[in-house]
Structure 1
Amino acid sequence: MLRHFSRALAFVPWLIQSAQAVTVVDDRQQKIQISQAPQRIVSLLPSLTETVCALNQCHKLVGLDRYSNWPASVKNLPRVGGGLDPNIESIVALKPDLVLAAGSTRGADRLQALGLTVLRLEPRNHEDAQRVWHTVGQALHVPTADSDRAWQGIQAGVQTAVQSLLPKARQQRVYFEVSPAPYGASEASFIGETLTRMGVSNILPASMGPFPLVNPEWVVQAKPDVIMVGDSSRISMSQRPGWSGLRAMQGQRLCVFKQDESDMLVRAGPRMAEGARLMADCLNRAATDVATALIKPGIGR
């Protein structure tokens, strides 16, 4: 009897913590009060969805944006549009006690006006990602020690990827394309910051903003040694004037990431370490003149 009572007491601090109201600050510097641990969560941004699940709260998700696709357990959840076109009626019908959205999500003010608790967060660099991780953890009433431990694990994974880079792979000049518009990842983005930690030069300076719209001619003039792109960019790249003459294209120092790899790479969340490993692998292969996503499994097709 005493043993069972002692076990029950072990849960008391957690129960007390989960019952306490918390106040968190979102990206618009709004103070959001969350009276108790949310039980029904709608997420409108993939990186936030992944953060919820990485904090072992995946079972509380009841609705998602159309792009959230990891982990596999979320794939059958109801879809409520995207950040640019959220379905307000569908979201309200799910009766969430917390809505996680990007700062740019349309309709967020409307959802708040309807009485829903909306927390707006959108990580763009490593500092953002850490802040968002801890803010979501706090909002979900995850014990701080657990949240800290998990984040340290993510950072350790990123550092392991950084250290795996071969000496001759450093000092390469890289162009990382996020989408075929084309939008790129600059030094100010979490992708660019990871490349900087690897000792790699990014042709897109921080002054352009984290994910700038890029003039294709800029890339031609910059002459990157390595190009990293998603599979959706492959066709459009061959049609851009001057790109066929780039040394990265001619030397096959080109990594084309499959869709699931691209999804992981462009989300500032719990899978950043896996993304860093993909980039390090690409750079190492480029340095040894065998980098090509067309023939190397694990990098692309």
Structure 2
Amino acid sequence: MRIVSICPSNTEIVEYLGRTDLLAGVDNFSDWPLEVLQLPKVGPDLSIDMDKVEALNPDLVLASMSVPGMEKNIEALDERKLPYIILNPNSLEEIADDIETVGNALGEKQLGAEKAAAFREEVQQFRERAAEKAHRPSLYWEWWPKPVFTPGSVNWLTEISRLAGARNIFENEEEASIQTDWEDVKAREPDHICMVWVGVKESKMRPELVRRRPGWEEMQAVRENNIHVLEESLFCRPSPRLLEGLRKLKEILK
């Protein structure tokens, strides 16, 4: 079977299933596991080159709707009559469902069920440990600095926060992504600032710019130097690797 993944989180689900041997090509941003770097690239996830996808003669394309703008990829797949499935999870349970879905699509129904069960079990273990914590520090997740974008309640990072024994300061906002401003963040007084700028490597993110924002020097997180540059790849992709990010977050919050 020949699979083409056109979104990094899809590629990581295939890796979680242990079937990267089926990948014939991936999008330009797929970088895990390292072996996929050797595969043919079909373009950035928002600008997939469908000529390249079609040339790989896929039995299945793993598409996504996780980012606005990906709709045109689906339209192009339909036009070319290429076989595909769409993944679009917002929660950890939906990621577990997608593990099963991909397993079924690869003809590995039992494998998909077993790996999804293992994922759910690990999530449950984190949930039980988090329930034992008396103090829940507050977290501000910064997806983008200007304009400010941050996750709301309908997002895996709110779940990740809870599983780490903390809480997202925007957890009561009923959206997956919130556009706000620096004053609003300051007023919510987070204990920790987590920088996970989408598409930006950690080496390019500068905490000193956060400290210089008007009035932010008064914030507890800034005063106590609780500004954390985190791997975007472990927090911004709806894949099983979120649990690796969760383990790192728990270490930070000890």
Could you state the TM-score of these two structures normalised by the residue count of structure 2? 0.85
Q: What residue is the counterpart of 1:242 in the other structure? A: 215
Structure 1 gap segments, 5+ residues each: 1-38, 285-301
Cα distance change, pair 124–166 in 1 and its aligned pair in 2 (3 A): closer
Structure 1 residue 243, shift from structure 2 partner: 2.3
Q: What residue is the counterpart of 2:191 in the other structure? A: 225
Aligned letter for 2:62? L
**Distance in structure 2 (CA, Å) of the matches to 1:59 and 1:46:** 16
Q: Would you say the 8 A contact 2:152–2:171 is kept in 1?
A: yes
Q: Would you say the 8 A contact 1:188–1:210 is kept in 2?
A: yes
User: Equivalences for 1:244-263 in 2 at 5 Å?
Assistant: 244-257=217-230, 261-263=231-233
**Distance in structure 1 (CA, Å) of the matches to 2:134 and 2:45:** 37
Matched, 1:85 2:58: no
Secondary structure of 2:194's match?
Answer: strand
- 1:261-298 deviation per Cα after TM superposition (whole angstroms, max 9, x unaligned): 320222221222211111111111xxxxxxxxxxxxxx
**Distance in structure 1 (CA, Å) of the matches to 2:99 and 2:241:** 12
Q: Would you say the 8 A contact 1:228–1:256 is kept in 2?
A: yes
Give the superposed CA RMSD.
Answer: 2.3
Q: What residue is the counterpart of 1:58 in the other structure? A: 20
**Distance in structure 1 (CA, Å) of the matches to 2:155 and 2:239:** 13
Matched, 1:108 2:74: yes
Q: What residue is the counterpart of 1:48 in the other structure? A: 10
Cα distance change, pair 250–160 in 1 and its aligned pair in 2 (3 A): same
**Distance in structure 2 (CA, Å) of the matches to 1:41 and 1:143:** 16
Q: Would you say the 8 A contact 1:99–1:117 is kept in 2?
A: yes
- 1:10-65 deviation per Cα after TM superposition (whole angstroms, max 9, x unaligned): xxxxxxxxxxxxxxxxxxxxxxxxxxxxx111111111101012112211111111
Residue of 235, 249, 254 corresponding to 1:265: 235
Structure 1 residue 199, shift from structure 2 partner: 4.0
- 1:138-186 deviation per Cα after TM superposition (whole angstroms, max 9, x unaligned): 1111133x22222232233334445566966732111122344432222
Q: Would you say the 8 A contact 1:174–1:226 is kept in 2?
A: yes
**Distance in structure 2 (CA, Å) of the matches to 1:268 and 1:262:** 11
Aligned letter for 1:251? E
Matched, 1:96 2:58: yes
Cα distance change, pair 213–169 in 1 and its aligned pair in 2 (3 A): farther
**Distance in structure 1 (CA, Å) of the matches to 2:49 and 2:134:** 46
Q: What residue is the counterpart of 1:210 in the other structure? A: 176
Q: What residue is the counterpart of 1:277 in the other structure? A: 247
Q: Would you say the 8 A contact 2:101–2:112 is kept in 1?
A: no
Matched, 1:183 2:149: yes
Q: Would you say the 8 A contact 1:155–1:273 is kept in 2?
A: no
Q: Would you say the 8 A contact 2:93–2:120 is kept in 1?
A: no
Aligned letter for 2:142? E
Aligned letter for 1:170? H
Residue of 57, 73, 77 corresponding to 2:35: 73
Secondary structure of 1:175's match?
Answer: strand
**Distance in structure 2 (CA, Å) of the matches to 1:252 and 1:162:** 28
Could you state the TM-score of these two structures normalised by the residue count of structure 1? 0.73
Aligned residue pair count? 242
Deviates more, 1:95-104 or 1:235-244: 235-244
Aligned letter for 1:270? P
Secondary structure of 2:89's match?
Answer: coil
Q: What residue is the counterpart of 1:289 in the other structure? A: none
Structure 1 residue 201, shift from structure 2 partner: 2.3
